[in-house]
Structure 1
Amino acid sequence: MHALSSIRLTRHLATLIALCGLGLAHAQSGGTDPTEAGGKDSPSARWVLSTSIYTRHFHPSPDHNNHQRLISVERLRDDGWLAGLAHFHNSFDQPSTLAFIGRRWDSTERLPGAYLKVVGGLLHGYKGEYRDKIPFNRAGIAPVVIPSVGWQIGRGSLEMVLFGNSGVMWTVGYAIR
């Protein structure tokens, strides 16, 4: 990795950490009792670390990167609200960062472990000739909404993440209390 790339990565991660901190502060400001559902000291609030394992574009192109190298961290409250940040290489192999907040809905007893999740956030990283590949990317940062469906067994999870009409990515995660 070139020194300039390392500096850029560090700058992107620092920005995401700051944005994630703001999102977490907002997400955790719901209750006054810190042991209430999802408060920062709640026994079931947890951190989730995730990485990508497989990506498939719906309309493959030789320009597409199918190895996103996603690293994501999110704080999930037991009331379903979450906030996090992710670093990955986008479909055109450009380093990208995402700061997000969202909501997770766990299934009932009919499908134990299954859940739906929707996050929204700000995405940075689509540049140059690929700048217009993501809508509303006017200042180098674009708003995104990302739905996913997942399955959790113990501390482990598997998610299928839909990125617009472009493709799907599978991720694995591990929860830390």
Structure 2
Amino acid sequence: MIFPSKLRATLAALAIVGAFGTGTADAADSSLYDLQPCPDSLAAQGGAEPSRKWDLSLSPYTFHWSGPSPEHKPVRLVSLDRQLPGGRFCGLALFSNSFGQPSAYGYVGQQWNNIFGNPKLFSKVSAGLIYGYKGKHKDAIAFNSSGVAPAIIPSLGYTFSPQESAQVFMLGTAGLTFAYVRSF
């Protein structure tokens, strides 16, 4: 997939900003943990260190509230979240939007565990910027300016094991995205 130059520039800027974060990994950790794409300033003070460091999400399907449309293309998403103390996280999602346009979502968020007293249920809310809705589809997302728009995305998840879970992301008036999540 070839990304437009503005998207490449946005991704490069996120990578450069993230490279200046300082990791807290010890020598026993993989070198992957040495890179911290989220600034330490996002970490909660005095919070316990999360048992997992990263979440990799893969989404093969998005359900649209408006039903099938000839304009809609399959939405494919991959995202990587960095887990921080205090249930906080940040990350980057790369996806093809509902109109087949290459898109990205850079975000920060908060996770709450033990929803409704069930230790396997959790909820998340992320907030950030989405890039990619352009041309005749620029109005498909609110507050879009030059292909960049703010977004708040809540989700509900279910943990199958310490390494595997599933999540459903609510995309406002557009629909739901279903994802498999692998933690490591």
- Smaller-chain TM-score range? 0.7 to 0.9
Give the aligned partner of residue 177 of structure 2.
169
Q: 1:46 to 1:109 in 2, by over 3 A?
A: farther
Higher relative contact order (Cα pairs below 8 Å, separated by 6+ residues): 1
Q: What count of residue pairs does the alignment treat as equivalent?
A: 164
Pairwise CA distance, 1:139: 3.1
Q: 1:105 to 1:142 in 2, by over 3 A?
A: same
**Secondary structure of the residue that 1:24 maps to in structure 2?**
coil
Where in structure 1 do 4 or more consecutive aligned residues deviate above 2 Å? Answer: 6-23
Q: Percent sequence identity over matched residues?
A: 35
On the 8 A contact 1:46/1:175 being kept in 2, the answer is yes
On the 8 A contact 2:157/2:166 being kept in 1, the answer is yes
Q: Summarize the alignment of residues 146-165 of structure 1 with structure 2, pairs less than 5 Å apart.
A: 146-153=153-160, 154-165=162-173
Q: Which amino acid aligns with 1:104?
A: Q
Give the aligned partner of residue 24 of structure 1.
38
CA distance in 2, matches of 1:169, 1:108: 20
Give the aligned partner of residue 64 of structure 1.
72
Q: Which amino acid aligns with 2:166?
A: L
On the 8 A contact 2:50/2:84 being kept in 1, the answer is no
Q: 1:90 to 1:71 in 2, by over 3 A?
A: same
CA distance in 2, matches of 1:105, 1:115: 6
Q: 1:92 to 1:62 in 2, by over 3 A?
A: same
Q: Which amino acid aligns with 2:130?
A: L
Give the aligned partner of residue 94 of structure 2.
87
Q: Which amino acid aligns with 1:139?
A: S
On the 8 A contact 1:74/1:84 being kept in 2, the answer is yes
TM-score with structure 1 setting the length: 0.82
Q: Which amino acid aligns with 1:82?
A: F
Pairwise CA distance, 1:55: 1.2
Q: 1:44 to 1:143 in 2, by over 3 A?
A: same
CA distance in 2, matches of 1:105, 1:18: 29
Unaligned stretches of 5+ residues in structure 2: 22-36
- C-alpha root-mean-square deviation of aligned residues, in Å? 2.3
TM-score with structure 2 setting the length: 0.79
Q: Summarize the alignment of residues 37-56 of structure 1 with structure 2, pairs less than 5 Å apart.
A: 37-38=47-48, 42=49, 44-56=51-63
Pairwise CA distance, 1:14: 2.3
Pairwise CA distance, 1:44: 1.8
CA distance in 2, matches of 1:7, 1:129: 16
Residues 148-173 of structure 1: CA deviation (Å, up to 9, x unaligned): 10011221010001111111110011
